[in-house]
Each structure stands twice: as structure tokens, then as C-alpha cells.
A and B are shown apart, each in its own frame.
Chain A
């Protein structure tokens, strides 16, 4: 009875195992296929940009379009570089974004810390004010800001490209949410050990919210690196302009654009972003997984 029972049970067990394994593999296969399709969807525009940049102006226009350039044309990059002071644009972009990021880091971490862990009268109201600035569209503020900068005679410098962005309400909000999750005991322990607020922030707080900080910085980098309208409105000389303006300058009138050159300009513009993303993709994923903020 025992034996019979065993064999009769074992048989379906094996097949069940098999089905389970198969299912697992099939699931994995479907998952990887779906992910590959998604990856291609996301990678293709970038690939298209690079390949178009390497085509001749005529080939960039033909239909049906070619995927691979028939003749590899590296001239477009040289043409971009010669179209204007691109070295200056690049330096300006780097300087402006570096300054903005540094300033945002310096302002966002302490403010988020205070909003998360300090108790004082009117805190909620002040935080509401910070959040409010996020819902005012920039189209509404650029004229008064321009007038302000004009009055302060700052227009022909890089200051108006940096000053309005030294504080990031979104960064403060995101970091505050992160800091809220850290138990108070940790900070109390640090205090008992004799650490001042500065040291607590630098040695205790910062390592714990690093992924969130990286996310904030990266998002801010993308925004300001790609910003077109603000630098356009604020500057009048080529010496103060940034990469996106240089790229916009490559487009001709009435459909008369050399698309390979425009795409080469976009390659130069997008490259630093891609590199930064690749270097920080792990931290980015961590912070999104932890906060649930997308």
C-alpha cells in the first residue's frame, strides 16, 4: 500500500516539477523578450541619432531610410564644431551646471534635514511655501525674473543662468521624504557622541541618503544641461551661451536643415548625460526602489 501509494504520488510529482521548471524558464524567457523589446525601443532613438550624424546630408533625407550609413561621414562633427564657438558653449554648460549642482547640494541637504527633523513653529507653513514654488510654471516667472536681473545689471554675465536655480524645491522635498524614514535615535546617538549638526549631517545623514542625493543631482543635471529657453532669454552674446543654444543654431529655416549636422550636435549634447547615467544607474535604481518616487 505504502509503496504503491508512493509511486503513484511520485509520478505526478516529477511532472509537476517539470511543469514548474518549464514555467519558470518560460517566464524568464518572456521576461527577457519583453525587456529586450523595451530596451530596443529606448536605445533606438539614440542609435538613430548617432547613425544619422554619420550619414551624408543627402542620405539623411532619403526614403526608404538606410539604417547603416552607406558612406561613413565624420565631417558632421567637424561642421558642428566650426559652426560657432562650441568650445565656449561646452565650457559654459559645464560651469553653469556645476555651479547649480554645487549650490543646490549645499542648500537642499540642510533644508531637507531641518524640515524633516526639527520642530519649530510654522514649519508646515514654510514647507508648504517651498512646495508651492514647484507648481508655478516657469513661463509665469521668466518675465519678472528677467526684469529683476536687468535691474541688477546682471544680464550680460553667467549669474542669471545660475542664481535662480541655487535652491531646488523638488530636491528639498525628495530628500526630506528620505530623511523622515531615518529613526531619530540615530541623530540622538550622534549628538550624545558629541557630534555637532555639521558633523551629523556630513558623517551620519549624507551616507544614508546618498542614493537620493545622486538622484536629485542627476535630475537637476538633466534639467539644466538641456535647458534651452532660459539661457536664450538671458544671454545676448555667443560667449555666454550654452550647448542647447548652439545645437538650436544648427537648424536652418523652412526645412533647410542638414540633419546629419543637427544630429551630430545632439550627440555632443547627449553624451555627458549618457555617461553620467551609466555611471550612476545602480544608485538611481536604489533610490527609486526605496522611495517609491518615480
Chain B
């Protein structure tokens, strides 16, 4: 009986596995493309390298296009790109794969997760290769270095910008060509734009991204320079929370539910229920598509604190894994250089709404023509000099979770005041900074 059972079990398993393997169709992202049969060098085969990424949906199409173009552009290297879920999924999976020695040659990692891989020694120091970083916009580079090593190169990066409804501005007698430049103005404009029960002047997600814009603009940092504590305990944090709270209490600001913050904010803006929102540059195309001819809108810098402005960035860098053979690394490096080149940088920026990461890309004819045709895109580029990230810290994911939680308790729940929120953040994160 037992034998019969095991036998049956094994047959079933092997049968299913066999049929499944036979049934797989070859796609553009296939694992075993046909070997190159070049007439000049018959022995030469393309070096196979793997790239992991988290670009789903419309970003997946951009990625597929990039890979296809690269593989067709030369006959030395064949890159296979694999979608690995969200940036969080990708990070967990990569950690596991590195432990087993099954890692890909490169991965496009969310910028704040890079430092963890760098500290573990999993990332290749790109300084060994012929990489020139002087063309890259300095504000986007804080995630790319670790302990003197160049561990990543910006791939697709975004920033928050202010979107505003010009029709609403005209309605209340505001100049549609002069959006709020300072946080004081933002507050004042929001008050004028609000019609109780009908629309709200300003909406902003209250997650870590928008919180960091306020904190940094008020002169603080998320993590201090020495990486020993949070960098907003002495005033900037309280100031940031107070601004949100005063606007929320006055009913001139709406805070979307945290779980669906981006999509709620976007939806409220395109349906005219709020007049100003802060959203990612990556959302510009979708806002344009959804607003259509319904109303005219503009984009602007994030508001400053009397001229002082610091804007966080988002998105991902491409990083190479240290633990592969040198010829694979050389092959992958060729792709890394190609995909971060000015030309591809322009392509990614134009098709995705990510900001260009190179000065030469910003100055390129193609981008300049685009900005002339559609000035809405230009705002993000002009805002680039104000970019900075102050969240590069090994325990960042835990620290940011604590901050977000206390901010929510204070802003959305109202159950604790600003000082208590900041104090509780400090208490909660201090063991994370001094393990």
C-alpha cells in the first residue's frame, strides 16, 4: 500500500512537472534565447546576464523596450530582465538569493534599500570600472555611495511637485500663473480655495515622503549627518506637524487614507475636489490623461520656507552584485553604462515621467523640445537642484515605519500633540540607532 502510494505520488509529480516544462512558451523575456550564430566569429556566444527589477504595469513596457533595444544593439551581451514584485518583494528575494548564491548580475533597487546590500558587501564597487559620475545631478547621488565605494547609479528617479487647478485659482481671484511659492502662501491660498462641503484647498499624503519635504525645508534632516539619531527633533519636526495640523483643523487640507494615499490624492485632484496636491512627477502623465480637457492645471515647485527649499527624491538605482564571475560583471557593466547613458536617460524620462538624472540629458535637444512643447514637465527638472535625501541609513525601513506611525497618530488621529509625537518617535527609534 505504502509503495503504491509513493509510486503514485511520484508519477503524478513527475507527470505534472514534465507537462509544465514542455508547455512553456518562449517570450521576449525567455531564459534561454537562441545562441548567436555569427559567421565571422562562430565560437563567440553572447554572455548571458540577469537583471531583476520591480517595474510593473506601464513601466514594464519601458523596461521590455530597453532590454530589447540593448540586446539588438550589440552581439556580446544578452540581458534577461525579470520582474520580481514590488520593491519590497524584490529586496527580500534578493537577500535570499544572495544567501544561496543565486543572485542576478544586477538589480534595480529602491534607493533607500541599497545601503543594506552595500553594508553586507553584496554590491560591486563601480569605481573599478570606467564610470564618470560628474554628469549626474548631485542631489540624486546620496544613495549611490557607501564607505567610499560607488555602489549604484540612478536609474529612474522621481520627486514630489505641486499640481494646482488653474480654474479654481481664477474662480477665487488668484493669479493662475503664480502658484504658492512658500508654505505661508500655500496655507493662505488653500484657505481661499476651500469651499466647505464642496472642495478642499490642498491635499497631501502624510507619508514619509511629504513629511521629509517639510522637515528638510524647515531646516531639519530625517537622519542627522552623523547617522546617530533623527534630525528633526529640534523644531523642524514640530513645525512640520503644526503646519499640517493647523490646515487640517481649519478644513483647508485633506489627508488621504495612508494605504491608498497616492491614488486618492490623484483621484481627488482630477475630479476637481481639491485645488492643489503634492504628488510624484511620475504621476504627471496619468494626471494629464485623466484631466483631459476638463480643466487647465499647472505644476510648480514644492512650497519653500521663505525661500529655503529641499525636496526628497524617490525611485530606484541600478546596482551590480559583487559575487559573480568577472566576465559576467564586465558584460553587465556594459549594460549598466548603456542604460544610464544620456540617450537612454532621455528615453526613460520621456516615457515614464521620471526626472532626467544627467545634466546632459536635461540639456539634450530632445528634452528641451519636450519642455518647450509641454512646460509642465520642466518644473521637475528645474526643481532638481533642490533635491536631497537625508534618509540613507541601514535601519531606515524600521526607522521610517516608526516615524510614519507617530505622524499618523498625530495628524490623522489627533490623539497626541506635536511635541509628544516627536518625543515618541525619538524614544522608539533610539534603540534602532544604537543597537
Contact = CB atoms under 8 A, between A and B. Distances in A.
Q: Do A and B bind each other?
A: yes
Given A87-B25, A255-B266, A150 B16 contact: no
Contacts of A57: 289
A205 interface: no
Interface stretch (A124-132, A155-163, A270-278): A155-163
Interface in A79-114: 83-85, 87-88, 91-92, 95-96, 98-99, 102-103, 106-107, 110
A198 B5 CA distance: 10
Given A99-B13, A157-B17, A63 B271 contact: yes
B24 A239 contact: yes
B30 A232 contact: no
A20 interface: no
A72 interface: no
B407 to A, nearest CB: 20
B172 interface: no
Contacts of A236: 31, 50, 82, 104
A229 B91 CA distance: 12
A88 B89 CA distance: 22
Interface string B279-301: 11011011001101000000000
B13 A162 contact: yes
A261 B9 CA distance: 38
A248 B85 contact: yes
Contact of B30 (A99, A239, A256): A239
A250 B270 contact: no
Given A58-B289, A91-B23, A253-B56, A233 B262 contact: no
A158 B16 contact: yes
Contacts of B93: 232-233
Contact of B270 (A61, A248, A254, A258): A61
A240 B29 CA distance: 12
A117 B104 CA distance: 51
A198 B24 contact: no
A231 B207 CA distance: 30
A197 interface: yes
Nearest to A83: B60
Interface in A220-278: 228-229, 232-233, 236-240, 245, 248-258, 261
A91 B26 CA distance: 14
Interface stretch (A2-10, A39-47, A140-148, A210-218): A140-148
B58 A252 contact: yes
A122 B286 CA distance: 64
Contacts of A50: none
Contacts of A96: 16, 20
Contact of B9 (A103, A151, A159): A103
Contacts of A88: 23-25
Given A88-B23, A156-B31, A158-B16, A106 B99 contact: no
A85 B27 contact: yes
B404 to A, nearest CB: 17
Contacts of B280: 254-255
Contacts of A233: 92-93, 96
Nearest to B5: A106
A192 interface: no
A111 B394 CA distance: 47
A195 interface: no
B152 to A, nearest CB: 18
A135 interface: no
A252 B289 CA distance: 15
Majority secondary structure of chain B interface residues (helix, strand, loop or mixed): helix
A150 B102 contact: yes
B56 A252 contact: yes
Contacts of A151: 100
A256 B286 contact: yes
A245 B16 CA distance: 20
Interface residues of A, number: 61
Contacts of B57: 249-253, 256-258, 261
A206 interface: no
A139 B109 CA distance: 22
A166 interface: yes
Given A251-B57, A256-B58, A63 B273 contact: yes
Nearest to A147: B100
Contacts of A58: 289-290, 292
Contacts of A238: 27, 29-30, 82
A245 B86 CA distance: 11
A289 interface: no
B378 interface: no
Nearest to A197: B1
B314 A249 contact: no
Contacts of A261: 57
Contacts of B262: 254-255
A14 interface: no
A258 to B, nearest CB: 7
Given A156-B31, A198-B1, A253-B59, A95 B84 contact: no
18 contacts: A58-B290, A61-B267, A62-B290, A63-B268, A95-B16, A102-B12, A142-B96, A147-B100, A158-B16, A162-B16, A198-B1, A198-B4, A232-B89, A233-B96, A236-B82, A239-B25, A251-B57, A254-B282
Interface of A: 57-58, 61-64, 83-85, 87-88, 91-92, 95-96, 98-99, 102-103, 106-107, 110, 142-143, 146-147, 150-151, 155-159, 162-163, 166, 196-198, 228-229, 232-233, 236-240, 245, 248-258, 261
Interface of B: 1, 4-5, 8-9, 12-13, 16-17, 19-21, 23-27, 29-31, 50, 54-60, 82-86, 89, 92-93, 96-97, 99-102, 104, 158, 262-263, 266-268, 270-271, 273, 279-280, 282-283, 285-286, 289-290, 292, 314, 353
The 7 A-B residue pairs with the shortest CB-CB distance, nearest first, are A252-B57, A239-B24, A255-B262, A254-B282, A150-B100, A63-B271, A237-B31
Given A143-B96, A166-B13, 16 more contacts: A61-B266, A62-B290, A87-B25, A96-B20, A102-B9, A150-B100, A159-B13, A162-B13, A198-B1, A232-B84, A233-B93, A237-B29, A252-B57, A253-B282, A255-B262, A255-B280
